[in-house]
Amino acid sequence: MKETYYVTTAIAYPNQPPHAGHMLEFIQSDFVARYQRLLGKDVHFLTGTDEHGQKIVEAAKDQGLTTQELVEKNAKIFLDFTKFLNMSNDDFIRTTDQKRHWPSVVKLWNKLKESGDIYKKKYEGLYCVGCEKFVLERELVDGKCQNHNTVPKKLVEENYFFKLSKYAKKIEELISKDEIKVVPKTRKNEILSFLSDDVKDISFSRHKDSLTWGIPVPGDEDQVMYVWCDALTNYISALDYDAEGSLYKKYWPADVHVIGKDILRFHAAYWPAMHLSANIPVPKSIFVHGFLNSKGQKMSKSLGNVIDPYEQIEKYGLEQVRLYLLKNLPSYDDCDYSEEDLTDTVNSELADDLGNLIRRVIVLIEKNFSGNIPKVSSLEDIDKKLVEDSNFFEDFDEFMLGFEFNKALNKLWEFIRATNKYLTDTEPWKIKDKERLGTVLYNALEATRIISCFLYPAMPTTSEDILERIGQKLQNLNEIKFSTKTSGKINKKDEVLFRKIEVKKMESTFPLNLKVAKIVSAENHPDADKLLVLQLDLGSEKRQLVAGIKGYYSLEELVGKKIIMITNLKYAKLRGVESQGMLLAAEAGDVVEVLTTDAPEGTQVSAGNLENNEEQVTFEQFGKLKIVIKDGVPVFEDKVLEASGEKVFVTQVSDGAKVR
RNA sequence: AGCGGAGUAGGGCAGUCAGGAGUGCCCGGAGGGCUCAUAACCCUCAGGUCGGAGGUUCAAAUCCUCUCUCCGCUACCA
């Protein structure tokens, strides 16, 4: 019988649409599932939705739906999301599923009760509906919950409790001995530290008045199960724990629960405690991923740095995003999702390294052997080196076992680079001997076959595409060897594997903030020979400039003229008069001409697609910039300065004139 | 406050458990090679007081002590 592997994601709470964190977890889990399948294992991959709780009820109310309607709608969104991500999950469990989920939950509850681990306790406290929990007096501001700005209700309740305390020591032992392997180590330490403290029993139910949407406690109609016994149980209800059917027998205990660091305690402490109490096996491992940040900070709507998974995937492509998340971000830690890095990954690792390699191999075989994969003959040292490099399975596998996805994929990329190097070094385009040429191209093709198989868990569609192009089939990774018997015909496709993403060079922001300004009045500086004082209208504001253009223009000429001014230059006093910026003028020899435009005053002037800098610049910094006139318009680093599409121009000075 | 983690080239990381010349990877920079290929590929070079101070040692990024900075978990509790 095949070895089994059971992998789960945390079930999503569908009061909000899927966010980047869901995307990360789902893709990581899918990566694991697909990898294990490619090791020939019988994999079961579960995901789903956690649909109970008071927040769902509130969300439904806000949207004018019944609770049932809301969960139907949102569960569908998550189900569609799994398809959108091309997840290979075998099942999708919903906690509102009364046929599949509820019986197992009730059974587990009863087991816990039979073990004497569920008991009733009375307590009194302040309950915040928004938080769905009791809050402490000291957490309140002006008597209100800070998160929801509501006054919590005073409640006296008698609820069921679960004897977590009874199992804390045992679980601590299991985790420290890696019988429940918590990865990464820092999370393991964290949970061990929690368990070694004085662990309290946990609340397992609520009165039906405060929790209206959930699974009733068996034998007590006034009580509804709280999230722990309900939601966590999805991992076994989906296997039909109730009937202890074939799925349950086959797949439980789970090989890995993939979760976020926020729910570590529930999975690494509460959940195994429930197993011990119900006398069922504990999960083998728990992989805890970090959070995705954006621009160095937690994503939040107010910061406007929220990463929307749909938008990202539509913009960059699903497989591109998958690879970026898996390969470029450390799987163990919080990390920063950056579109710039994503672009880098796509352009250099996918287009340049991988896509181009596949193309090279295919074109060479097409040209030299009409697309028929040549036969391999005797191997030279350089060929043997390539064969040796192809044996990276053990390293790859070791990283996969430790859930170090980025490191595993780096191993693959090392081989991709080695194959590119092999082609450069063997120079097949120069080889005259047909037999030797065949051998080299055969080896290159065999390398790409191996590459495409290893690529499959991360990028299944791309992997299949490459295999089709080289006329090969997917092979299990534990069996894959550098073969001498690969044959067939390649299918050259014109379409390139990966298009490059056009880089918007963010790092070279345009240092200046330029705006169109109209000269309202011009007069001579009271105290200087060469200076004029100009009053400007920028549409939304007025500014005063001191400009050194006296002698080049008459005062009458200037009034009404539109000029380009630097608005973020540090203010300076010139001969006693404040200058709140400066205007741009081109200078060639002794000709000086002010830049002008037909655009209305206040219009932003920018350099190509470069972002304008808002921060203040000094005169010295400005002096280092090189803006020159080319074909009558100002240019900065090959970018033409324009006022929202309107031309900025000069008429007198010649090309090459410097702008200052 | 307690516990845990992190700090290594301009950026992102590995190396630290098991001490052995700053060893290495990716991006970026400079130069070169190649011309099969998606202006791709390959090579070379520049760039580091391994957060700081002290200690152990023949030898410290690595071990010990102290210290600074950042982050996570916990914080009389449902």
pLDDT in tens, A557-604: 778 788 877 776 656 656 656 667 777 776 654 566 777 777 777 777
Nucleotide nearest to A430 (CA to C1'): B36
Per-residue confidence band for A121, with pLDDT thresholds at 50, 70 and 90: confident
Give the C-alpha separation, A361 to A444, whole Å.
6
Per-residue confidence band for A620, with pLDDT thresholds at 50, 70 and 90: very low
Per-residue confidence band for A621, with pLDDT thresholds at 50, 70 and 90: very low
Residues A243-253: what's their mean pLDDT?
94
pLDDT at A370 over 60: yes
Task: Write the DSSP string, A143-175.
Answer: TB-TTT--PPEEEEEEEEEE-HHHHHHHHHHHH
pLDDT at A609 over 60: no
H or E stretch covering A365: helix A356-369
Give the C-alpha separation, A399 to A132, whole Å.
39
Enter the tokens of residue A358.
């596949």
Give the C-alpha separation, A125 to A153, whole Å.
8
Instruction: List domains and CATH numbers for chain A.
Output: 338-469 (1.10.730.10), 514-659 (2.40.50.140)
ipTM: 0.87
Nucleotide nearest to A207 (CA to C1'): B78
Q: Are A619 and A613 in contact (CB under 8 A)?
A: no
* Window from A70-79, A145-154, A215-224 with minimum mean pLDDT: A145-154
Distance A261 CA to B8 C1' (A): 27
* Window from A8-17, A108-117, A130-139, A517-526 with minimum mean pLDDT: A130-139
Enter the tokens of residue A463.
């992997």
Distance A240 CA to B43 C1' (A): 60
Burial of residue A427 (number of CB atoms within 10 Å: 0-12, 13-18, 19+): exposed
pLDDT at A412 over 80: yes
Enter the tokens of residue A606.
């920018």
Distance A101 CA to B75 C1' (A): 37
Nucleotide nearest to A366 (CA to C1'): B36
Residues A106-113: what's their mean pLDDT?
95
* Window from A32-36, A58-62, A230-234, A433-437 with minimum mean pLDDT: A58-62
Q: Hey, what long-range contacts does A382-388 have (CB within 8 A, 24 or more apart)? A: A382/A422, A382/A425, A382/A426, A383/A439, A383/A440, A383/A443, A385/A422, A386/A418, A386/A419, A386/A422, A386/A443, A386/A447, A386/A482, A387/A443, A387/A482
H or E stretch covering A435: helix A434-455
Residue A393, CA distances (Å) to A40, A303, A401, A408 in order: 14, 43, 12, 9
* Window from A132-146, A233-247, A379-393, A524-538 with minimum mean pLDDT: A132-146
Pairing of strands A42-49, A4-9: parallel
Report the largest interatomic distance among the alpha carbons of chain A, rounded to a whole angstrom: 100
Residues A342-354: what's their mean pLDDT?
90
Nucleotide nearest to A407 (CA to C1'): B14
Distance A437 CA to B61 C1' (A): 47
Per-residue confidence band for A206, with pLDDT thresholds at 50, 70 and 90: confident
In terms of Cα–Cα distance, which of A240, A238, A241, A206 is closest to A220? A206
Distance A370 CA to B41 C1' (A): 23
Give the pTM: 0.77
Residues A643-656: what's their mean pLDDT?
66
Residues A69-85: what's their mean pLDDT?
94
Distance A27 CA to B19 C1' (A): 40
* Window from A80-84, A94-98, A244-248, A401-405 with minimum mean pLDDT: A401-405
Per-residue confidence band for A304, with pLDDT thresholds at 50, 70 and 90: low
Helix, strand or coil, per DSSP, at residue A483: coil
CA angle A594, A598, A602 (to 5 degrees): 85
Q: Nearest residue to B38 (CA, C1')?
A: A356
Q: How far is CA A476 from the centre of its chain?
A: 28
pLDDT at A295 over 80: no
- Please give the pLDDT value at position A141: 55
pLDDT, averaged across chain A: 83
Nucleotide nearest to A497 (CA to C1'): B38
Q: Which nucleotides of chain B are near protein (any atom < 7 Å from a CB)?
A: 2-5, 12-14, 25-28, 33-38, 40-43, 71-74, 77-78
Q: Are A606 and A638 in contact (CB under 8 A)?
A: no
Q: Are A496 and A350 in contact (CB under 8 A)?
A: no
- Count H helices and E strands in chain A, helices first: 22, 32
Q: Nearest residue to B33 (CA, C1')?
A: A424
Distance A466 CA to B4 C1' (A): 45
Give the C-alpha separation, A384 to A373, whole Å.
19
- Provide the annotated active-site residues of A: 19, 22, 128, 131, 145, 148, 298, 301
Give the C-alpha separation, A458 to A29, whole Å.
10
Nucleotide nearest to A193 (CA to C1'): B3
Distance A330 CA to B20 C1' (A): 30
- Please give the pLDDT value at position A131: 57
* Window from A106-110, A334-338, A480-484, A541-545 with minimum mean pLDDT: A541-545
pLDDT at A271 over 60: yes
Q: A204: which residues sit within 8 A by CB, 6+ positions away?
A: A118, A159, A160, A161, A162, A225, A226, A228, A229
Give the C-alpha separation, A517 to A510, whole Å.
19
- Please give the pLDDT value at position A588: 56
pLDDT at A163 over 60: yes
